Amino acid sequence: MNIRVHLQGIMGLICGLALLGSLVHAQKGEAATYYVATNGSDSNSGTEEQPFQTIARGVLDLSPGDILYVKNGTYTAWGRGMPSGASWDSPITIAAYPGHSPVIVKSAQDVITLHFIDTSYIVIDGFVIDGTSAVNGVKITYESSIAHHIRIQNSEIAYATVGIFVTPGSDGNEFINLQVHNNGTTDFDHGVYLTSSDNLVEGCSIHDNAGWGVHIYSGGSANNNIIRNNTIYNNGRSGSRGDGIFLSSGSGNQAYNNDVSGNIGGIRIDYGASNTYVGNNTVHGNPAFSIFIGGSSSNTLIESNNTDGQAIIDEGITTRILP
């Protein structure tokens, strides 16, 4: 065989494989980073040098794995045009630019500051979510399909009627390292109100809300929620009712390693709750009760809580209270 022809064949094969690799790479795609700044323009390309001006424009180009960084300033949210991530390993992330603390307020036509509809696997990181004049600071719900697996972290949510409201079926959400405070005017207005399953509230400071700090209730569909490692205090600001943590109506809900103080009541398990776990909490300075297990609750395990000498009230069925 002619050596030149042979070499040409090898080079052709190598080039073909390189081309195939580049095509596969292009089809798979790489995570992209975009930017928003108040001095940008929505006709820009979204680079750091040419940022978009609005979050609503910024989210339009996002695909799973992409990040949208938002610089200091005040913004409205994106309305109903939010795409979805693919999984927790490949979410869509909207984050404060490092060292910045941008503010999100409700738009004039909306009653919710940050509303998740028909979307999933979204991470919101590092914002001040201002609920002034809003019914909800954050609402996770559905229209044509259910929003689910929304993670909000390292953020502040305040001054709404209800800080966070999650509707039935919107499962698997995570609320991590949040400040949730000064929401509501009546005892029906809570800091965090969960009516779905498999949610996590972790490492948050939840305080000075008019109703309950964390309220779980939904006629039997609010199951397997975890409330852990939070500081929950001074809730019940309306003066009539308001526990630190309320676990009700579902099965498998857990509250552990929380500090619960200065609320009207401490931790309550009630309204048909079953298989509930309350452990290793410090519950103190809640005048109505430290831990209360209502008569319709069953199979509750209370373990290793510090109630500062205040008695645990047990009216439940097959409750176990361990030292």
pLDDT tens sequence across 181-226? 999 999 999 999 999 999 999 999 999 999 999 999 987 689 999 9
Q: What pLDDT is recorded for position 28?
A: 41
CATH number for the domain formed by residue range(s) 31-322:
2.160.20.10
CA-nearest of 131, 188, 132, 191 to 166 is 191
Domain parsing of the chain, residue ranges: 1-30, 31-322
For residue range 137-189, list pLDDT tens digits in order. 999 998 888 999 999 999 999 999 999 999 999 999 999 999 999 999 999 99
Task: Evaluate whether 37 touches 54 at the Cβ level (below 8 Å).
Answer: no
* Predicted confidence (pLDDT) at residue 101 exceeds the cutoff of 90: yes
Report the alpha-carbon distance of residue 295 to residue 111 in Å, rounded: 38
Tokens of 172: 């698997």
Can you give the pTM of this predicted structure?
Answer: 0.90
Lay out the sheet containing 205-207: strands in order across.
74-76, 103-105, 128-130, 156-158, 179-181, 205-207, 231-233, 259-261, 282-284
DSSP label of 60: G
